[in-house]
Structure 1
Amino acid sequence: MNDFTGKNVLVLGGSRGIGAAIVRRFAKAGGNVAFTYAGSKDAAETLAAETGAEAIQADSANRDRLISTVADRGALDVIVINAGTLVMGDPLTLNSDDIDRMIDVNVRAPYHASVEAARQMNDDGRIIVIGSVNGDRMPFAGGAAYALTKSAMQGMVRGLARDFGGRGITVNSIQPGPTDSDMNPAGGPMADTMHGFMAIKRHARGDEIAELTAYLAGPHGAMITGSMQTIDGGFGA
């Protein structure tokens, strides 16, 4: 287990699912962990009590609140940007405001949070965004806008890796495939269809994503930057 004792870690979107698994992983390894949540107050308070992490209410769609939350954490060693939202359906009938909010949360927020974190981040810090294999492949109708946001994240990661590389700061995206969560439960109505695209025919677990996150955040990840680390059971193969 990588040792994060004393490391200043912030997880954006950490109260449930993949985010909660990441909070648990860093807290277990000794990190000084804080995480944000938007509306899941009960889940956030339960996780904070379990792990000793600090829960901070902050909607990633609110740019000013997001930036101030990152700035207030001071010199971060690790920031994990997990907050995200999913809107799917016929693009001719989807609500435009819902699409714009998804772009705010999935694209604008990771950019502004990464840049703000880098202002004070310790040298050799880690910026990790949780993307999606749908940035590479969208095999379903109705996912164009969501795929757009995840592909945009790829360009951001490549660019910021060059911007911050002189300080040893790495910037990477983890791209899960189907992962058991409230957004995409392993027993949900789309599970069999999703598994049909996969070589390993099951949803990933949150702790599996968290382990990859910890690897990238640890000393062995020092030369991995500007990369998309896909963990999808062969969904995009």
Structure 2
Amino acid sequence: MPTHPRTDPSAAETIARRIAEREAGLGLDRDVLAREAGMSRRYLEYLTSVGPGFDPNGFLRIAAALGLSYRELVDGRADLPPGQAPPAPRPVLLRLTEEQCWEKIGARGVGRIALPGEAGPAVFPVNYTVDRGTVVYRTHENGAAAPAPGSAVSFEVDRIDDRRSNGWSVLITGTAERIDDRETLQRLMRDLAVQPWAGGARTLWIRIRPESVGGRRITSTPPGDQD
């Protein structure tokens, strides 16, 4: 099943306006913000249209790219004065090298595949494995997570602690293809036995050939250490 956004139109509109105002104040354009946040511009614009209920980790990265805490971006509240509450640490984004990105996602795990759609990206959780510099997953032959051959897709894996504002996120963009070579399929079944979450007897192996691999490590900076 796709990941459906939990939307609040008025809240999403307010946050989108807050992002635009912060961009203007920092002299950032939308492409630069998307790149700093480690996501495509299209995905960033989709997030701002549906609000943080869809992908809180994505908004944490946007906040860090704008030099804000998650609370400042989403709630519009500055840190409380000393003595009333501990000030919230600000998340800081650090770039990962491509080698570090592959190390982070490991040999297998759970990620999210984003496929193009008319209203915006359709996002599905999938269990994946890494095979010779590509990402591979299985899905039902007629499932929503089975892209047409040659589709441009995005694949994201993240491990983030929202409370502590730390963790990491890796974004892979590339092209999806269906694996139909018998020898390759036999090898995958033998060595990379990934069971699809989608039900049904007829399943496909999907390979994502990366065109770009990027990632961010998120860490928190204590308020006293900020410039």
* TM-score, length of structure 2 as denominator length: 0.26
* TM-score, length of structure 1 as denominator length: 0.26
Higher helix share: 1
Which structure has the bigger radius of gyration? 2
